[in-house]
Amino acid sequence: MPYKEKPVEKLYYTIGEVSEMFDVNTSLIRFWEKEFDIIQPKKNKKGNRLFTAADIDNLKIIYHLVKERGYTLQGAREKMKDNKEDLSENVAIVERLREIRAFLMEMKKSL
């Protein structure tokens, strides 16, 4: 049986990498960090923010609520406080549906 290499997943992401993931300015990521207690990136000696995968997942939920669903910051805070597990499942489903849609659109172009 041949060796199957796992894709390497980073432990920490810089604020620049995170802002590219969400296609937003770094200032918005810093603002959300201030507004939502759930986002707490580690900081190195220089003060650079290092985001974990859990922070990225929380940012996905915040991005989905604020940017895609149109919630206010207070509304997003309350929604996350009420049922965070359901929100993370919904975000994962939406993300998977986008991947399927992109695949289907690519397939349509190739036909």
Task: Measure the CA–CA gap between 39 and 8, rounded to whole angstroms.
Answer: 23
CATH number at 39 reads 1.10.1660.10
Q: What is the pLDDT of residues 32-41, one digit of tens each?
A: 999 998 899 9
Q: What is the pLDDT of residues 61-78, one digit of tens each?
A: 899 889 988 999 999 888
In a domain, 6, yes or no: no
Are the C-beta atoms of residues 47 and 41 closer than 8 Å to each other? no
pTM, whole model, 2 decimals?
0.75
42-56 mean pLDDT: 91
Q: Which domain holds residue 60?
A: 13-110
Task: Measure the CA–CA gap between 20 and 66, rounded to whole angstroms.
Answer: 17
In a domain, 5, yes or no: no
Provide the domain count of the chain: 1
